[in-house]
Amino acid sequence: MTKFNVLFLIGLGIILSNSINVYGQTDITFQVDITHLLDGHEFDPEQDRIELIGNRHPLSATRPVEMKRDDEEPTLFKATVTFPISTENSQLEYQFRAMINNRYRNEDIPRSVQVTSDDRTLDSLYFNSYAW
């Protein structure tokens, strides 16, 4: 077998393994607006952080996902989470939580969303604010 054939087979294997890993996964982008935390001078973006926790892998209270500040909208924090196929059609309960002065501040009520097979971006929500 020539060196070219070996490299070709290795490259093909890498491509196929990446395709298999991506198949069946769902990306959900979560967004939270922390305007009132910033306006009240409670939150310092240089030292504090916003996290996302939930009840379905890969989210949990012990393994939060740190949300990143949006460059275009500084009051908005975002995180995209990839859920495995095993969570498809399940109900995800999640919360945003702020780490302010090394203390957690969780939202009062968990939020929920259905994990589907489609990638999507959820609407921006205000931290700890609910409307029925």
pTM of the predicted protein model: 0.79
Whether 1 maps to a domain, the answer reads no
Whether 75 maps to a domain, the answer reads yes
SS3 9: helix
Q: How far apart, in whole angstroms, are the C-alpha atoms of residue 91 and residue 55?
A: 9
pLDDT in tens, the chain (132 residues): 676 655 555 655 555 444 344 457 999 999 999 999 999 899 999 999 999 999 999 999 899 999 999 999 999 999 999 999 999 999 999 999 999 999 999 999 999 999 999 999 999 999 998 764
Whether 111 maps to a domain, the answer reads yes
Q: What are phi and psi of 36, to 5 degrees?
A: -70, -30
Residue 69, domain extent: 25-126
Whether 56 maps to a domain, the answer reads yes
What is the CATH number for 83? 2.60.40.10
Whether 57 maps to a domain, the answer reads yes
Please tell me the total count of domains within the chain: 1
Whether 14 maps to a domain, the answer reads no
Whether 11 maps to a domain, the answer reads no
